[in-house]
Amino acid sequence: MSDPVIVQKFPYVTNLEPGTYYWCSCGKSANQPFCDGSHKDTAFTPKAFTIDAATTVALCGCKHTKDQPFCDGSHSDL
């Protein structure tokens, strides 16, 4: 698997509390947009990120963002 699975062509807009999260980069997780370990047979690894205060974020759903884990609009070109 050299390309990630495109889960959806729009972001996951999610309210997050402070903490560390792991964004799924392979697209195989059943717990999108977060990692559930499904990448273990791929070359992909999850992207850890920390939220310092409660906020709303747009996490990439197409897995092609250049600003992992956040949506940068790359889905518009797929």
pLDDT in tens, 5-28: 999 999 999 999 999 999 999 999
Number of structural domains in the chain: 1
58 within a domain of the structure (yes/no): yes
d(CA 56, CA 14): 6
18 within a domain of the structure (yes/no): yes
Nearest to 39 by CA among 7, 5, 12: 5
Q: Residue 30: give the domain boundaries.
A: 12-77
Nearest to 47 by CA among 11, 22, 19, 16: 22
Q: Which residue type, as a one-letter code, is found at position 59?
A: L
| Phi, psi of 51, rounded to the nearest 5 degrees | -110, 125
28 within a domain of the structure (yes/no): yes
Is the full-model pTM beyond 0.85?
Answer: yes
1 within a domain of the structure (yes/no): no
Q: Residues 45-55: pLDDT tens digits?
A: 999 999 999 99
